[in-house]
Amino acid sequence: MYKPFSLPIARGLLSVAFFILLSSLNAQVISTLDIVKVNGQYEQEAMYFYNENWLQFRKEALKENVISDYEMLRTPDDSAGFFNLILITEYADSASFRNMEAGFAPIMKRVAPNGPKMLNDVPRSKFLEYVSGHDMSSVAAARPVSRPSEMELISATLMDYIEGTANGQPERLHRAFHPDFNLYTVTEKDSLRIRDGQEYIAGIKPGEKANRIGRIVSIDFEKDAATAKVEIVIPNWRIFTDYFLLLKYEGSWKIVHKSYTWRELPK
């Protein structure tokens, strides 16, 4: 939990943000606070941008002990339809804070190798406004952004598979699947076929779109284990049915097994 801020705020970090340095009397904890003004007309694009970039970077940074905590808060909309996102990142000590760039650089390269992820190709300039002043009463009125449910997290992993295969995005498949996963199916000659997962992903060419339409049929989970059923329609050819086993470890849901079958589309 973060206590109300009482120290002076200094302008810094991003051109649209502010920076504060907090040092506890009992521990050398340092926190940064970025305040970003968002055009509510593009709320979906803005929240996608921060969920898929800022939050993902910090989730990985927390696992690697680059940071010690993080939080994203949202203020109520103002009369003009704008709201603030308050982005808090906590570092365990001054050394961690000084090394933030070195810590985040490989994470950003790994999570977003092609640059920040955007929704609907809307540029950041459309939904972000610079903060020309600050009113700390807005922090008190802010509320935590709801953390996604387990069903939403599992669905996000499955959508990485569905959209990654359809849009030629192998990096999303690497994110969705455990590195050692395999694919299993029964051939027309009634024998078991096992495919290497990494070879499967290697067959997805970056930027090469495929004519396939996917949907999540069902999800069932208990604690850190889940099963899911997905249908992939390839027009004028087949319907593939995928059965997945997923496990949640190190804070993320990963597909560890895929079994599939198919049937011809009616002519």
User: Looking at the DSSP assignment, which residues form a beta bridge with residue 264?
Assistant: 238
Residue 265: what pLDDT?
A: 87
Amino acid found at 14: L
Look at the domain 10-144 and name its fold.
Answer: GMP Synthetase; Chain A, domain 3 (3.30.300)
Q: Residues 12-52: pLDDT tens digits?
A: 333 333 334 444 434 468 888 788 888 888 888 888 889 99
pLDDT of residue 143: 52
**pLDDT tens digits for 121-161?**
888 888 876 443 344 344 445 455 555 688 888 998 999 99
Listed in order, the ranges of the chain carrying CATH 3.30.300 are 10-144
264 Cβ partners below 8 Å, 6+ apart?
237, 238
Q: What is the pLDDT of residue 134?
A: 40
- The torsion angle over the Cα atoms of residues 192, 241, 175 and 250, rounded to 10 degrees, is -80
Range scoring the smallest mean pLDDT among 12-21, 177-186, 218-227: 12-21
Q: What is the helix (H) or strand (E) element at residue 60, kind and residue range?
A: helix 56-63
pTM for the whole thing? Answer: 0.52
Q: How many helices (H) and strands (E) does the chain have?
A: 9, 13
For 150, what's the count of Cα atoms within 13 Å in the CB-facing half-sphere?
15
Say if residue 65's pLDDT is above 80.
Answer: yes
In which band, very low, low, confident or very high, does the pLDDT at 257 lie, cut at 50, 70 and 90? very high
DSSP strand E in 122-264: where? 128-129, 143-144, 182-186, 192-196, 213-222, 225-234, 238-249, 252-264
pLDDT at residue number 147: 58
Q: Check residues 216 and 146 and name the one with the higher pLDDT.
A: 216
Q: pLDDT for 225-251, tens place per residue?
A: 999 999 999 999 999 999 999 999 888
**pLDDT computed for residue 250 by the predictor:** 84
- Rounded CA gap, 247 and 260, in Å? 18
pLDDT exceeds cutoff 80 at 163: yes
- Pairwise pLDDT comparison (77 vs 56), residue with the higher score: 56
Q: Give residue 43's pLDDT.
A: 87
Residue 64 has pLDDT above 80, yes or no: yes
CATH class of the domain comprising 150-264: alpha beta
* Nearest alpha carbon to residue 145 among 69, 76, 66: 76
For the chain, give every residue range classified as CATH 3.10.450.50.
150-264
Q: 153 by DSSP, 3-state: which?
A: helix
Chain-centre distance of CA 109, in angstroms? 14
3-state helix/strand/coil string of 197-215: HHHHHHCCCCCCCCCCEEE
CA distance 169 to 214: 15
Say how far residue 260 (Cα) sits from the centre of its chain.
Answer: 26
State pLDDT tens for residues 74-118: 888 888 888 888 888 888 888 888 899 999 999 999 998 988 888
Instruction: Decide which of 265 and 18 is more confident.
Output: 265
